[in-house]
A and B are shown apart, each in its own frame.
Chain A
Amino acid sequence: MANTNLPRRIIKETQRLLSDPAPGISASPSEDNMRYFNVMILGPTQSPYEGGVFKLELFLPEEYPMAAPKVRFLTKIYHPNIDKLGRICLDILKDKWSPALQIRTVLLSIQALLSAPNPDDPLSDNIAKHWKANEAEAVETAKEWTRLYASGT
């Protein structure tokens, strides 16, 4: 389909993602749509998500790189900035998008978001409240969810 018309930038990014992947991140385009990527992010160490393997989907819209890629967690995750549908609250995916950002930088940002949840700018109100009221308990829940839903298999 659109693959024949793929911009050089996307091809270049894809090649680099495959040949030189970022640590803890893998992204590979779908075979039938080169704009659709299957992504896996390892839960960062010393975070509640350590040990988890999180699946995401990433789609490059027609306007990319002038518009941000669309990214969503497929794996269920307990995080104040990620809602139950897997949508991510991250400024660079919205108004702070810049064409100088790439798939790799986006995914690294998401990985960093896992290390540093930000309950002050929540997407999921309940989780954020929980995080603020009793962080230790919330972290425990997150660990629990990681075990339950992101344990690899």
Chain B
Amino acid sequence: MGKEELTEAVRSVLGHGFSDMDIIRALHMANNDVTGAINIILDTPKFSSGEKTSSQKVREQPKSEVYGASSMVESSNLSRETSDDMQLDRRNDTFQACSIKNDETKELDDRSIKNESVSRFTGESLGSINSNWWFVGSSDITALSTCKGRKLKVGEIVSFSFPFKNSPPSHKTSGKLFGRGRPNTACSEIVRFSTKYSGEIGRIPTEWARSLLPLVKAGKVQIEGSCKSAPDTLSIMDTITLSVSVYINSSMFRKRHQASPKSFRSLPEDSTVHPLPVLFRLLGLTPFKKAEFMPEDFYSRKRSLDLKDSSGVCVPLLPPEKIRKLSSDSNRVENEQEENISDSDVDKLVGTSDSSELEEMDPPHTLQCELRPYQKQALHWMVQLEKGRCLDEAGTALHPCWDAYHLADPRDLVVYINAFSGDATTEFPSALQMSRGGILADAMGLGKTIMTIALLLSHSDKGGSGSGPVSQHSSYTGEVSSIIDHSPDMSEDPIISSGFSKLVKLGKISHVSGGNLIVCPMTLLGQWKAEIEAHVEPGSLSLYVHYGQSRPKDAKVLTQYDVVLTTYGVLASEFQAENAEDNGGLYSVRWFRVVLDEAHTIKSTKSQTSMAAAALTADRRWCLTGTPIQNNLEDIYSLLRFLRVEPWSNWGLWHKLIQKPFEEGDERGLKIVQTILRPIMLRRTKSSTDKEGRPMLVLPPADVEVIYCELTEAEKDFYEALFKRSKVKFDQFVEQGRVLHNYASILELLLRLRQCCDHPFLVMSRGDTQEYSDLNKLAKRFLKVGQDALIGENDVAPSRAYIQEVVEDLRKGEKGECPICLEVFEDSVLTPCAHRLCRECLLASWRNANSGICPVCRKILSRQDLITVPSESRFQIDVDKNWVESSKVSVLLQQLEILRSLGSKSIVISQWTAFLDLLQIPLSRKNIKFVRLDGTLNQQQREKVIRNFTEDTGVLVMLLSLKAGGVGINLTAASAAFLLDPWWNPAVEEQAVMRVHRIGQTKRVAIKRFIVKGTVEERMEAVQARKQRMISGALTDQEVRTARIEELKMLFT
């Protein structure tokens, strides 16, 4: 039945005594049930308001407007004469107020404690004289009557009552009356109004109630109102027009510098809908300046986000002509756990910049080297980005996340509301407060370091004296704490907590203005230092390395220098230290500029390092990384958080608009990322071209070749035996369906097989002795154990003197013999009681695999107590005496001999330092001079090794461990790279190889990868290829599990 038919049906019973409106209302209440509607009408006296009412309304309208306006004037005059105290009195004289405090801000704290029903209403206008309350605006509300028979005069003041938690439902009658057909609005959301004389009159619409409720509750907003028009006699569901005025408390406006990009992980997804902007809209306020970013732009999933069109609106940080369409045709991401994304994938993901149109900028004369054109472009780009988007406008341009409103208050206040966080402020949110900096993501080898040094020289005033408004952009104190505690109970009301919670904790910490801070991995400290010293005119940049135990804590020391170099480790440890700001150090300085080198180090959002970086106080922020995304799209979030790229440093938003769509395969997530990154990221690769279309960096070609080796008969036998044994174990796991439970064991099996491909001796290598390879460390730990052991009852701890003697013997390389086999120690271990035995002998003496007694003193030991004694060789056999070349080694040696005849240097890369140990034997025997770089070297040693390799023409080979070679180091003295064993992830290999093939390389480079035919190495290649095809996001957990098992099976075929 249509509405008209229903109406007719009711009318046919009741006749024409009721207006159409009445009938429709009744029908609505009865859920379109005709009988129900008739009953409602007949049961409710005076249900009919008659046609007269509506016509009366129309007639009265102009009059009431005049009245409303004059009453406003009257009331403000009145309140001008009243003191605060009087106001309090008046407010206490309210309909059902239980507790009202004059100091509204206090209530913010109190409300959580007192669960009383607070009803706030104002009998009269608060007026504008009260400096704490600002008149926002007036509007008409179409409210509904919830009473019958009561009267409401036009112009009569109404008071509002807000339901708060635990408040007893005070209007049970209404529930009864409307129990049937009415949509069930949660009782807690109903805002009612009443008059002094008649009591409850009606309720205001839900939309109003919802936006008012949290704000009034928090004491941020007050509302007052009067009747504008109402039927003479009210009946239920009658329409009442109220004229309301809304006031906002000045505590709502927080100081801008307290603003902080906060992690909203604890907040519900809807945290991006905030009551204040809604209220403003309801009041009919329109921003005279609209935010350029609006949450709605991103929320409507239905609307296709054509970012190519809207990019100008979205992130116009650069002039539109510089925003180009994406080069990426494919948005596939290899999103593997533990797997990095290869360079080319990064390009696809984030796009590369077509930089040919960028202007160039000459570096200052203090830079003592020539920049290439593309480096000058980067310099220009960086300087521009630091200035803010448009130099002239930056100070006056509104931050793109903020709306600007004029309040109706006669004091002519402008209020800015953040479209994303709902935060409000009266301070002008300038575009300068946005991130100033970006991501320099040029591919490896293009000289990010030198470009950054040029930037340091070009624009490096200490103390942020760059431009005025910067100075008010100060402490981010609040952020440190908000990052640390994600506890959801920070405020019971998550919807408004974003705006208010920070008010509670106002730490005022004065930061000392500092210069540039460069944070890099420990391995790069030396390189930075060397590059700065080499390329900067002496005296133009003072440099200080903030590293080591004895580093000063005094902020004054740090601020004396133009450039402070430190490591991520130092950063994290100073961040973890309690009261970092008070203790001085990196966090007590407001840096002019912070540069994170190898910025992907901070990719894990929750890591200490990442939080530590984000908590730094700085005016300009830069990320240098060749791999802005390593594993996951989320990696970008960490960078944006550090850079303060609003609004994306808000986790909730990031997650909702980017991460989740991306994970669900919605391309728009990725497109937003690309749109965000395009203006703030510069990424060129070696193949990028300059203005004339020439490649901007001409590197000599690199020839990549795979050398397939054949195992000798003996090796083959050994390999096959090992393989069979491994396969039996693997098949057992498969049969039991416990492959993934035994993942670690399987990887161990594979590890041995892979090592066997390098050299069978590796299979017999000892457990990792790295940890105690330093004798001093060992002695220390040992003596400590000795002291601790004093506690045990039966334990007679070895005397300190004895332990010292043992350690001294070890240090002197005393051979000694095992008390069990009476032979020279092999793979010896020390017991906590300081007895040294061969590992095998000791374990064989035990009945139980994991514990037993010390054969010498009968102390009970467990296996993990044993300390591996460092020794020169980590092999169970004397490899030097028994040396034989493996087929891989033979091939390598042939290659090296050829290179020796040419006088060319090369690097030899393996993932196992034990293999490097083995390689030292034939290299020494053949008198091929080599150096070695691995993870055991400290910074000075590394620098020395690299210098030695670069400068000494006699040194032909560098043995490099894959992990140590991954970062930053420059080995362009070599023209060949040998990758001896395949790694699971080609990106890591690529990184190591790039140490050779990078800027400064003048020779043709040969890259040779070794693969042993018919072994697990060959199948690893297949798995790698397969992985490239697999997009992890597209597979379910089960599929990923199956895929992993499949992969493992492939390896064991």
Contacts and interface: CB of A to CB of B under 8 A. Distances in A.
B865 interface: no
**B821, B822, B853, B858, most chain A CB atoms within 10 A:** B822
Interface in B799-819: 819
B856 A100 contact: yes
Interface string B251-293: 0000000000000000000000000000000000000000000
Nearest to B817: A12
A99 to B, nearest CB: 5
B855 interface: yes
B842 to A, nearest CB: 9
Q: Closest 7 A-B residue pairs measured CB to CB?
A: A100-B855, A100-B819, A98-B855, A99-B820, A99-B845, A12-B822, A100-B856
B841 interface: yes
B866 to A, nearest CB: 15
Contacts of A98: 845, 853, 855-856, 858
Contact of A8 (B821, B844, B855, B858): B821
A133 B407 CA distance: 114
Given A98-B845, A99-B845, A100-B856, A8 B823 contact: yes
7 contacts: A9-B821, A12-B822, A98-B858, A99-B819, A99-B820, A100-B855, A102-B822
Nearest to A96: B858
Nearest to B819: A100
Contacts of B853: 98
Contacts of B856: 98, 100
Interface of B: 819-823, 837, 841, 844-845, 853, 855-856, 858
Given A96-B858, A98-B858, A99-B844, 7 more contacts: A8-B821, A9-B821, A9-B823, A66-B844, A98-B853, A100-B820, A102-B822
Interface in A54-111: 65-66, 96, 98-100, 102
Contact of A13 (B822, B823, B844, B858): B822
Interface string A5-45: 00011001100000000000000000000000000000000
Q: How large is the interface on A (under 10, 10 to 19, 20 to 34, 35 or more residues)?
A: 10 to 19
A9 B822 contact: yes
A66 B853 CA distance: 13
A99 B841 contact: yes
Contact of B855 (A9, A12, A13, A99): A99
Contacts of B845: 66, 98-99
A66 B847 CA distance: 10
Contacts of A100: 819-820, 837, 855-856
A108 to B, nearest CB: 15
Given A66-B844, A98-B845, A99-B841, A9 B858 contact: no
Secondary structure call for the A interface: loop
Contacts of B822: 8-9, 12-13, 102
Nearest to A7: B821
A13 B837 CA distance: 17
A66 B844 CA distance: 8
Contacts, number: 31
B1009 to A, nearest CB: 44
Nearest to B844: A66
Contacts of B844: 66, 99
Contacts of A9: 820-823
B878 to A, nearest CB: 15
A66 B823 CA distance: 16
Given A98-B845, A99-B841, A99-B845, A65 B820 contact: yes
Contacts of A13: 822
Contacts of A102: 822
A100 B856 CA distance: 6
Nearest to A98: B855
Contacts of B821: 8-9
B482 to A, nearest CB: 61
A9 B853 CA distance: 21
A12 B845 CA distance: 19
Contacts of A99: 819-820, 841, 844-845, 855
Contacts of B823: 8-9, 12
A54 B150 CA distance: 126
A66 to B, nearest CB: 6
A96 B853 CA distance: 10
A66 B843 CA distance: 11
Nearest to B823: A8
Nearest to A11: B822
A96 B837 CA distance: 19
A9 B821 CA distance: 5
A16 B820 CA distance: 15
Contacts of B858: 96, 98
A9 B811 CA distance: 27
A102 B817 CA distance: 14
Contacts of A66: 844-845
Contacts of A65: 820
B824 to A, nearest CB: 11
B585 to A, nearest CB: 53
A115 B858 CA distance: 25
A13 B820 CA distance: 11
A111 to B, nearest CB: 21
A8 B817 CA distance: 13
A30 to B, nearest CB: 21
A121 to B, nearest CB: 18
Interface-central residue, A12, A65, A99, A102, by most chain B CB under 10 Å: A99
B797 to A, nearest CB: 19
A66 B841 CA distance: 9
B731 to A, nearest CB: 33
A100 B854 CA distance: 9
A47 to B, nearest CB: 28
Count chain B CB atoms within 10 A of each CB in A13, A98, A100 and give the residue with the most: A100
Nearest to B856: A100
Contacts of A12: 822-823
Contacts of B819: 99-100
A99 B845 CA distance: 7
B628 to A, nearest CB: 59
A65 B837 CA distance: 14
A4 B799 CA distance: 43
A105 B845 CA distance: 18
A99 B843 CA distance: 11
A109 to B, nearest CB: 15
A100 B822 CA distance: 9
Contacts of A8: 821-823
B1052 to A, nearest CB: 36
B740 to A, nearest CB: 38
Nearest to A65: B820
Contacts of B820: 9, 65, 99-100
A12 B824 CA distance: 12
A112 B260 CA distance: 81
B145 to A, nearest CB: 97
A69 to B, nearest CB: 14
A149 to B, nearest CB: 35
B859 to A, nearest CB: 11
A96 B855 CA distance: 10
A127 to B, nearest CB: 29
B417 to A, nearest CB: 80
A99 B819 CA distance: 8
B536 to A, nearest CB: 64
A13 B855 CA distance: 17
A96 B856 CA distance: 11
B847 to A, nearest CB: 9
A99 B821 CA distance: 9
A108 B515 CA distance: 76
A96 to B, nearest CB: 7
A121 B324 CA distance: 96
Contacts of B855: 98-100
* Max count, chain B CB within 10 A of own CB: residue among A8, A65, A102: A65
A13 B817 CA distance: 13
A99 B841 CA distance: 9
A65 B818 CA distance: 13
